[in-house]
Structure 1
Amino acid sequence: MDWDDAYRGEGKFEGPPPWNIGEPQPELTALIDDGKVTGTVLDAGCGHAELSLALAAKGFTVVGIDLVPTAVAAARRAAEERGLTTATFVEADITTFTGFDEQFNTILDSTLFHSLPVEGRDGYQRSVFRAAAPGAHYYILVFAKGAFPPDLEVKPNEVDEDELREAVGRYWVIDDVRPAFIHANDLQIPGVPAPPHPRDAKGRLKFPAFLLSAHKE
């Protein structure tokens, strides 16, 4: 997928990408409300950064990293418009970024993991592990196998629980992997019907997912 096109509302999708729901994913909002997010935060693959912006509005210092120039520019504009000075954004490859050794107490992955090529997963884990402070907590919200029709031409790299545990457990101590949902707007791809998933109170699709919780010893 051409991610820059997607964030400009061009290319495969008609309009904004479906994962831009105008707020953080509800599963991660619940973590914030439960006090699970602490200290300095890394928003890995921040996109338009509604998660980063929501955290900054609550007083967190947060760094959003994304490879896509259009997304990073939009996040910076939004932070400036909202007067959020504790959110900063970096254009970088999440699988190789450096310069933040042991800086983050919490790392949040809001639908990034499944967007990476499978061969990029280990580099991603090494990079975020290096950026994590001792004792840091790490949360991944990722599409589960079966979230999308098997014959869809382009789709995320969905995971089953075993492959998720295998990739992350090389570096992190895994505390929990549980079923979850990723909320998204309709795909708006010509000729592709909406998946038969339940919808939330706002009419958004609830795709099957996993929420992984881990920590760095």
Structure 2
Amino acid sequence: MTSQVIDWDDAYEGNGGFEGPPPWNIGEPQPELAALIEQGKVTGTVLDAGCGYAELSLALAAQGYTVVGIELTAHAVAAARKAADERGLSTATFVQDDITSFTGFDGKFDTIVDSTLFHSLPVEGRDGYQQSVYRAAAPGARYYILVFAKGAFPPEAETKPNEVDEAELRAAVGKYWEIDEIRPAFIHANVPNIPDMPEPPFPRDEKGRMKMPAFLLSAHKPA
């Protein structure tokens, strides 16, 4: 399998071919994950794995959750910290670290949320990522992954996320976690302003954002 790698420092600093933030940073939590929060499925202390600009972390902190965002990219971490400070959200903290090897949080988190991180990692980093978040999870912790499905990007794209099929996702995560469900879902993304780009073949939500094919995985760590 070819491991596609995106330069995330480049993308977040506005040099990755986008005008403004990457299209999947929509200024609020992804709707699939917002629904989980509304349904009471996010509980306790939360890890926002690969938090990016941390829309999810900030929304959770605004609701009173204690949340830690771990992100590799210094630019995104700085932006997240600034936003939390400006909004007075003292229960959101952000750490610059490699999600595939971070330590120092053993057994801490009751919920771990991956909002479009899994497909951003090189394929060879997936196992280290699963080991790291499993180690950081408390007994009985819940784990949610929102990830691009195969077909979200054209096969001829030179650089794209590492999309998955259900079997691939199940094999990577099920090695450590008890999987409860994998279901079709959507990742909502702003339409990128790229000259000469064909109209993306995706439905739109009520805000005009693309609804790109994805999976939502739900799993848990045995108590």
How far apart, CA to CA, are the structure 1 residues paired with 2:120 and 2:157?
Answer: 15
Give the percent of matched residue pairs that are identical in Structure 1 and Structure 2: 78
Other-structure match for 2:52: 47
How far apart, CA to CA, are the structure 1 residues paired with 2:177 and 2:218?
Answer: 10
How far did 1:195 drift? 2.0
What amino acid is the match of 2:158? E
2:151 paired with 1:146: yes
What amino acid is the match of 2:215? F
Q: Secondary structure at the match of 2:10?
A: helix
2:105 paired with 1:100: yes
Other-structure match for 1:14: 19
More displaced 10-residue stretch of structure 1: 29-38 or 150-159: 150-159
Give the aligned length: 217
From 123, 134, 144, the equivalent of 2:128 is: 123
Q: Secondary structure at the match of 2:197?
A: coil
Other-structure match for 1:65: 70
Q: Secondary structure at the match of 1:139?
A: strand
How far did 1:124 drift? 0.2
How far did 1:16 drift? 2.0
Verify the 8 A CA contact 1:173 1:215 in the aligned structure 2. Answer: yes
Q: Secondary structure at the match of 2:56?
A: helix
How far did 1:188 drift? 2.7
Q: Secondary structure at the match of 2:191?
A: coil
2:36 paired with 1:34: no
From 75, 82, 87, the equivalent of 2:80 is: 75
Residues 7-58 of structure 1, C-alpha deviation per residue, up to 9 Å, x if partnerless?
1222322332101100000000000000000000000000000000000000
From 170, 188, 199, the equivalent of 1:194 is: 199
Verify the 8 A CA contact 1:187 1:194 in the aligned structure 2. Answer: no
Show structure 2 runs of 5+ residues with no match: 1-5
TM-score with structure 1 length normalisation?
Answer: 0.98
> 4+ runs of 1 displaced by more than 4 Å?
none
